[in-house]
Structure formats: structure tokens, C-alpha cells
Amino acid sequence: MKEKIRIKRWVKVVIIVIVLLLLIGGFFVIKKQLTPKKETTIKETPKKLKPVKEEVIFEEPEIEPQVEVQEPIQDVYTTRMTSFWANDGYGTGSCTGSGLCEWDFQINDKGWYTYDGKLVIATATTYLANQGWFVADGVHLYKYWEELILTIDGVDYEAIILDSCGSSMRTDRVDLFVSNGSSAKDTMIQVRRK
């Protein structure tokens, strides 16, 4: 029994010592934080230091590639015009890159889609270029909603760019949106900005 009392006393003493040590440590931490820092000045004669070669590493900044809109190489140029239609086997759906779809268009007497009286076409676009598509030399880049004049078989048609054409990024051609394969056209045309 006496041994238990002795152990209890020692436990109490150890706890009291630990608490005192914590309090004393806390006091010194607080005192150190409240004591203003002294500026020390060392008066020594300057020593000559050997030059140290630093290795400078330049990192390339990560910049999202942006392609500036190129003005056409010529105001008027001749190029190939091909056609595309919904479900033509090349992954083309019924909607264009502009967000407009077949039901937003009218069909002219040749079976070609029009929007506000203008032929609906796809070209090489700044949109595709900014997505990282390769742009061949001499390719004319356009923006969605840009308007052109196409001379097809000697007749001038107003056209509006509402879609992108991946093949045009390599071959600089115009792709006409038609209602079906029997309305398709593959011919050389003249192109100029409106």
C-alpha cells in the first residue's frame, strides 16, 4: 500500500515538473517574440571574393499557340471547291462549327444550303489553327461568319463561312454544304472577299 502511495506521489511530482518546464519554455518563447531585435553591425574590412560562375537556366514560358488571322495572299484567287453533306462518310453531321444546323438553313434550286441567301461553306479557319491544326503554306485562313464572293461556273454567289474544313488546312479549298450527294459540286472557282 505504501508503495502505491509512493508511486502516486512520484507521478504527481513528474507531472508538476513537466508542467513547470512547459511554462518556463513558453515564457522564453513569448519573451523572445516581444523583445525588439537588435541590429548588429560587423565592422570588418571587405574581403575580395572570388567570382562565382552561376549557371543560368532559361525556361520557355508556356504560351498557348495563337494564330493571327492572315490577310489573303491575293484579293482574288482561284481554288478548288468540293462539297460536303450530313452523314457523308467523313464524320460530317447535320450541324456546322458555328453552331447552326441543317434546320437553320434554306436549300436553293441546286440543292445547296444557304443562310440569309448566302451559300453555307467550310474553309480553313483560325479556329482550327488555334486548336493546333497544321496550316500549309499559302492557305487562306478565315473566321466563322466571314463572307466571301464565290464565282462558280461564271456566276457570282455570296457565301458565308459557318464551318471548318480540315482538308482545307492542307489544300486551301472551299467546301460547299449541300443537302445530299447528288447536289455535290467539285470544280475550280474564283474567291474574293466581300
- CA 6, distance to chain mean position in Å, is 76
C-alpha cell at 60: 520557355
Residue 88 has pLDDT above 90, yes or no: no
| Cα(168)–Cα(140) distance, integer angstroms | 9
- The reported pTM is 0.60
What are the backbone angles phi and psi of residue 10, rounded to the nearest 5°? -65, -40
In this prediction, residue 59 carries a pLDDT of: 53
Mean confidence (pLDDT) of the chain: 79
pLDDT of 111 over the 90 cut = yes
Q: What is the pLDDT of residue 105?
A: 92
Q: What is the pLDDT of residue 27?
A: 67
The cell numbers describing 163, all together, are 464551318
Query: Which residues sit opposite 83 in a β-bridge?
Result: 176
Determine the residue type at 7: I
- Per-residue confidence at 149, pLDDT binned at 50, 70, 90? very high
Whether the per-residue pLDDT at 72 is higher than 50: the answer is: no
Domains along the chain with CATH numbers = 76-193 (2.40.40)
What pLDDT score was predicted for residue 115?
95
State residue 57 phi and psi, 5-degree precision.
Answer: -115, 120
What value does the mean pLDDT take over residues 163-176?
Answer: 89
For residue 106, pLDDT beyond 90: yes
User: What pLDDT is recorded for position 193?
Assistant: 87
Q: Which three cell numbers stand for residue 51?
A: 567570382
Contact 184, 80 (CB under 8 A): no
DSSP 79: E
